[in-house]
């Protein structure tokens, strides 16, 4: 039983936070979701039963001591619901995952069109057929990058296509604790990914009415690009339909460096500008008709029309998490207008968070979710704090507009900066300037032009609106290119240690949501996060899951064992180091030296040899005689069974390398068989001992790793 003093303190806290507790519901739900994904093993009936008990306990606490324990009970119940909803979602999307390398015929229906990281078209297919693979082992969806000339067919949503492709299971993290593509693919129901270098062919034309919204989206995108040539047209298509397949890699990279890549995502800015413009235009048009303006609630009619426009925009865009969040918040705001309630509050942000976390809990860890909600919550809190400020109210209209533009860009930039730095390992130094130069153009020219173009489309006059939009589109792209070319435009930062983003989120939530002086307590987790981040230590040695690439930490930065091959993994390692070098430049750094068919390096007295391919395999035994650690991309015991291998371990493996140096035992081997069980490796060297941490251990025994 709780003491009377404790109950009194809880009651005082609840009274002090009265009216401000509702936004914490989304936080409690997120805690439960995070707990599900943090477990090392997949929960079973016992864990889900415990979650059910917690829901009942939380509700009972709220009913027993409503004035004191209701908030605590609600946190317990919502956390348990978040945990259970994440598990339910993980089982709902479950499907077969390819467990071998496949090469042969692939047939499926086109349900997604975008571009890969190598800047080639990429298709997502469902209703898949693979040669000699039974239906119960065939993935629900596969994703194939289209290399080479595809002159026979332009992929159409809903059409069935066939090709000869290489497929494999989704790969694990590039390093332990890194981005988990296996988990990401699981929640997309992607059971295989791969590529083709041969032209695809049409197996069956799109049936009438199939994939109607997707087909309309891609048809509009194609029509926009036909009216506006080049990258401005591709940019317009991305803004209006969410289709980025026409954007080349340089354009996207320039916008990221300039910190205006958010203009590509149909998010709060676009949804707010669109619905705001529709609301204002409808209300003005209705006000010009006295018979309506004097007798009917035209303000509510305009809000209903803007809500319908937002719903259409959501359906057309494909519905990513930022767009869903924006629409939910806009819907809450416009509904409040129709009910004569206050429109913009942190409650609307919380409602959006609750709906998205229940619908797609896996998005909690996505940069889109984190950056979108961080920016929105900070903006709502700041502008609500300025509501009624006398010094601002008396300013001229143009000064208010400039102040709002600068403040919103600054607040949004500061709120999203730590999340952008953690996910993308970069800070856009001139991002504020680029946003000030481009956001007004987006709001005053491009979005209104897009609405007018949609209205004129049935009349065949949309080209007039596109002609007005084109200079604005070109201006934004030109600004991004010029900013990206400026010396020092981007600053690279290393990835933070585990838990750092959680501390940043906690500190920000306390500072924004808590009432009174207690909000200053949010500075403590923020300070701890900064301390952890600045003191982060990167692994001395990284090994890819294929064994074909090794990266060693040197005074110049990470030196890679090969200038080509495993380019995606190399890029991830260098980004996580906070290093802007290319793979070729990193391979040219001092450290590795050619030794027979492989390369070797010495780290703190530990002699390491790395070889890739069959030729290196033949020299493994000889390399073992002069090195402490041998890393191979092939099964090493084929070369010499006497070589001592590591048995794959459930946890970090500590090996005393000094024994090999003393000649009392063979060298230690890391080969393809070992890596097949462990995934990528992170190795820390400390004197004569090495600590090996495996990606598989960090992932745990989960649905997506089995």
Q: Say yes or no: 612 and 669 in one domain.
A: yes
How many angstroms separate the CA atoms of 117 and 140, rounded? Answer: 23
At 331 the pLDDT is 87
Among 32, 57, 92, the domain-final residue is 92
Which range has the worst mean pLDDT, 9-13, 183-187, 194-198? 9-13
Tokens of 231: 């990258």
pTM: 0.85
Looking at per-residue pLDDT, the higher value among 212 and 506 belongs to: 506
Looking at per-residue pLDDT, the higher value among 6 and 206 belongs to: 206
Q: Say yes or no: 155 and 59 in one domain.
A: no
- Calculated CA dihedral for residues 168, 174, 177, 182, nearest 10 degrees: -20
Do the domain assignments include residue 528?
Answer: yes
Do the domain assignments include residue 25?
Answer: yes
Q: Say yes or no: 201 and 255 in one domain.
A: no
Residue 41 is classified by DSSP as B
At 652 the pLDDT is 43
Q: Mean pLDDT throughout 30-56?
A: 94
Q: Say yes or no: 629 and 661 in one domain.
A: yes
CB atoms within 10 A of CB 127: 12
31 pLDDT above the threshold of 90: yes
Domain range for 581 is 541-705
Work out the percent of the chain whose per-residue pLDDT is above 70.
91
Do the domain assignments include residue 35?
Answer: yes
At 186 the pLDDT is 96
Among 41, 74, 92, the domain-final residue is 92
At 97 the pLDDT is 95
Q: Say yes or no: 248 and 370 in one domain.
A: yes
Q: Say yes or no: 199 and 303 in one domain.
A: no
How many angstroms separate the CA atoms of 158 and 112, rounded? Answer: 9
How many angstroms separate the CA atoms of 476 and 574, rounded? Answer: 29
At 532 the pLDDT is 93
Whether the CB-CB separation of 667 and 7 falls below 8 Å is answered with: no
581 pLDDT above the threshold of 60: yes
Q: Mean pLDDT throughout 403-428?
A: 87
Which of 162, 156, 101, 168 lies closest to 127, judged by CA?
A: 162
Would you list the DSSP string of 178-195?
Answer: S--HHHHHHHTTEEEEEE
Q: Say yes or no: 576 and 640 in one domain.
A: yes
Domain count, the chain: 5
At 688 the pLDDT is 63
Q: Say yes or no: 689 and 552 in one domain.
A: yes
Q: Say yes or no: 515 and 602 in one domain.
A: no
Do the domain assignments include residue 587?
Answer: yes
Do the domain assignments include residue 97?
Answer: no
Q: Say yes or no: 561 and 690 in one domain.
A: yes
Q: Say yes or no: 309 and 458 in one domain.
A: yes
Whether the CB-CB separation of 95 and 704 falls below 8 Å is answered with: no
Looking at per-residue pLDDT, the higher value among 9 and 386 belongs to: 386
Among 27, 58, 92, the domain-final residue is 92
Average pLDDT along the chain: 85
At 259 the pLDDT is 86
The β-bridge partners of 608 are 601, 629
Q: Say yes or no: 488 and 347 in one domain.
A: yes
Do the domain assignments include residue 458?
Answer: yes
Tens of pLDDT, residues 588-632: 999 899 998 899 999 888 899 999 888 888 888 888 888 888 999
């Amino acid at each position: 039983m709780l003491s009377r003093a404790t109950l009194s303190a809880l009651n005082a806290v609840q009274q002090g936070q009265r009216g401000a507790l509702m936004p914490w519901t989304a936080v409690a739900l997120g805690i439960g979701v995070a707990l599900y994904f943090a477990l090392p093993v997949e929960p079973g009936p016992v864990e889900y039963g415990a979650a059910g008990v917690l829901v009942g306990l939380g509700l009972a606490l709220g009913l027993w001591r409503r004035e004191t324990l209701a908030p605590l009970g609600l946190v317990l119940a919502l956390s348990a619901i978040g945990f259970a909803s994440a598990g339910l979602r993980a089982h709902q999307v479950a499907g077969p995952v390819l467990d071998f390398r496949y090469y042969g015929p692939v047939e499926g229906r086109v349900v997604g069109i975008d571009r890969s990281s190598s800047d080639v078209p990429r298709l997502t297919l469902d209703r898949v057929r693979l040669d000699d693979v039974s239906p119960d082992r065939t993935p629900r969806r596969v994703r194939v990058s289209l290399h080479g000339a595809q002159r026979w067919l332009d992929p159409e949503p809903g059409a069935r296509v066939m090709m000869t492709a290489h497929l494999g299971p989704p790969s694990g993290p590039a390093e332990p604790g890194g981005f988990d593509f296996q988990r990401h693919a699981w929640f997309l129901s992607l059971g295989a990914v791969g590529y083709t270098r041969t032209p695809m062919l049409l197996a069956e034309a799109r049936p009438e009415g199939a994939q109607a919204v997707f087909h309309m989206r891609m048809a509009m995108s194609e029509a926009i690009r036909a009216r506006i040539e080049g990258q401005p047209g591709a940019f317009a298509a991305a803004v209006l339909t969410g289709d980025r397949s026409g954007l080349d890699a340089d354009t996207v990279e320039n916008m990221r460096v300039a910190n205006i890549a958010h203009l590509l995502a149909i998010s709060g800015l676009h949804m707010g500008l669109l619905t705001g413009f529709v609301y204002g235009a409808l209300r003005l048009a209705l006000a010009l008709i006295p018979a309506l303006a004097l007798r009917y609630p035209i303000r509510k009619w305009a809000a209903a029309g803007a809500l319908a426009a937002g719903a259409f925009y959501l359906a057309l865009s494909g519905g990513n998490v930022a767009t869903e969040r924006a629409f939910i918040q806009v819907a809450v705001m416009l509904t409040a207008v129709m009910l004569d309630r206050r429109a913009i509050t942190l409650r609307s942000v919380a409602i959006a968070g609750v709906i998205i976390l229940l619908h797609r809990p896996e998005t909690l860890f996505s940069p889109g979710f984190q950056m979108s909600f961080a920016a929105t919550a900070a903006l709502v809190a700041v502008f609500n704090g300025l509501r009624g400020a006398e010094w601002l109210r008396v300013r001229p209209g143009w000064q208010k507009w400039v102040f709002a533009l600068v403040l919103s860009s600054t607040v949004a930039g500061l709120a999203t900066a730590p999340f952008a730095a953690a996910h993308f390992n970069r800070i856009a130094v001139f991002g504020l300037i680029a946003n000030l130069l481009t956001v007004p153009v987006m709001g005053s020219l491009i979005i209104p032009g897009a609405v007018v173009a949609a209205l004129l489309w049935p009349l065949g006059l949309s080209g007039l609106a596109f002609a007005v939009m084109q200079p604005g589109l070109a201006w934004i792209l030109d600004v991004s290119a010029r900013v990206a070319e400026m010396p020092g435009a981007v600053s690279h930062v290393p990835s933070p240690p585990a838990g750092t983003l959680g501390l940043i989120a906690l500190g920000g939530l306390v500072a924004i949501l808590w009432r009174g002086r207690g909000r200053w307590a949010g500075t403590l987790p923020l300070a701890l996060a900064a301390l952890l981040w600045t003191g982060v230590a990167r692994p001395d040695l990284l090994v890819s899951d294929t064994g074909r690439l090794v990266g060693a930490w040197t005074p110049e930065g990470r030196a890679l064992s090969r200038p080509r091959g495993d380019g995606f993994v190399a890029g991830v390692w260098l980004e996580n180091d906070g290093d802007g070098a290319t793979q070729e430049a990193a391979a040219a750094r001092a450290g590795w030296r050619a030794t027979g068919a492989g390369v070797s390096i010495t780290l703190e007295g530990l002699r390491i040899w790395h070889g890739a391919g069959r030729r290196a395999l033949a020299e493994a035994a000889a390399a073992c005689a002069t090195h402490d650690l041998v890393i191979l991309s092939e099964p090493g015991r084929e070369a010499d069974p006497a070589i001592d291998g590591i048995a794959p371990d459930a946890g970090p493996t500590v090996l005393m390398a000094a024994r090999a140096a003393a000649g009392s035992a063979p060298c230690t081997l890391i080969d393809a068989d070992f890596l097949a069980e462990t995934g990528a490796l992170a190795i820390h060297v400390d004197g004569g001992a090495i600590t090996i941490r495996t990606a598989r251990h960090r992932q745990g025994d989960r649905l997506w790793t089995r």
